[in-house]
Structure 1
């Protein structure tokens, strides 16, 4: 695993498409029990090199009821984005994750983690990639039907503060999904 992580951290496969240069950010261990597959690092994470080291990470840890010590322990949680580098800014937020990363690196990474009990698929890119034709027409429909994907996957919206309007329009998320997520996570750790 150490060799693979070093190889990923040195990856430059899509460097010509990255306005801020490559800086692959992830955390994983062969002992990881929970895998969190998100979108791509944002600008803060690109600078710090620490996965989920921003307001989105704060929101995610709140949803999980997980402290930073546990969250950043790779023997407990693997943090693997769909795109390992910050893709840059678009018109309405960050650009989508680069499509080269997941096909290149996810299978070798996940193949070394034999004790995974739960995989969180955060956002539409992770859900489309891993659920294929089982994904619903909208992210809202997918998340609302989260039980359909258990026990292997737990689907979530992105915890970005930009999604506060979505959360306000969908109170069932905080009422039903978050407690179920916390229960699933608590049973593992």
Structure 2
């Protein structure tokens, strides 16, 4: 069996959807077999594509606040894996970034997840990640997030932390009042164990 580093090397060299991308492929992932928290997002944005660092944008700032961790902890693959549904920036559409490319998850997702045996908490961000990771009836992101306790303590569905979601956060004050403190406590417990 190939080493985990070899697997990540193959992922980072992936070009399966190259013809569909606005820029050359640049798969952005972070993981280690010792990772204890998994962040599942949608796909890298343009800034992330440019820097190669996941959640290196205002969305990441908010996500780290929700988790109550600093950048050093967030970018430590021994603690935290970041595997978006699409590993490359898909481009921009009329109302924001395009959806993750559909080729990525079938090609890599199960292979990578099977090599992360120590995950204790999975944060599932947005509709594409939730559709893949959370089984059951088709629901909106708002419905899934409202039912977060159904998945607790191993999985937490989240809205996207993008500044574009400020209106959603204002309309759902219970999220930052109830869910965020629970996430912060759980993250602190898991990181204290490692």
Instruction: Give the TM-score, by structure 2 length.
Output: 0.94
Partner of 2:154: 152
Deviations 1:41-94 (A, max 9, x none): 000000000011001000100000000111000010001100000000000000
Consecutive unaligned residues of structure 1, counting only runs of 5 or more, are none
Deviations 1:87-142 (A, max 9, x none): 0000000000111111211111111111111111011111001113255x211111
> 1:30 aligned to 33, 46, 58, which one?
33
RMSD: 0.9
Mapped to 2, the partners of 1:173 and 1:32 lie a distance apart of 26
| Segments ≥4 residues shifted beyond 3 Å | none
> 1:12 aligned to 15, 22, 35, which one?
15
> What is the CA distance between 1:15 and its match in structure 2?
0.6
Consecutive unaligned residues of structure 2, counting only runs of 5 or more, are none
> 1:68 aligned to 46, 68, 71, which one?
71
> 1:58 aligned to 38, 53, 61, which one?
61
Mapped to 2, the partners of 1:155 and 1:184 lie a distance apart of 14
Partner of 1:165: 167
Mapped to 1, the partners of 2:49 and 2:21 lie a distance apart of 11
Instruction: Give the TM-score, by structure 1 length.
Output: 0.97
Partner of 1:114: 117
Aligned length: 188
> What is the CA distance between 1:148 and its match in structure 2?
0.3
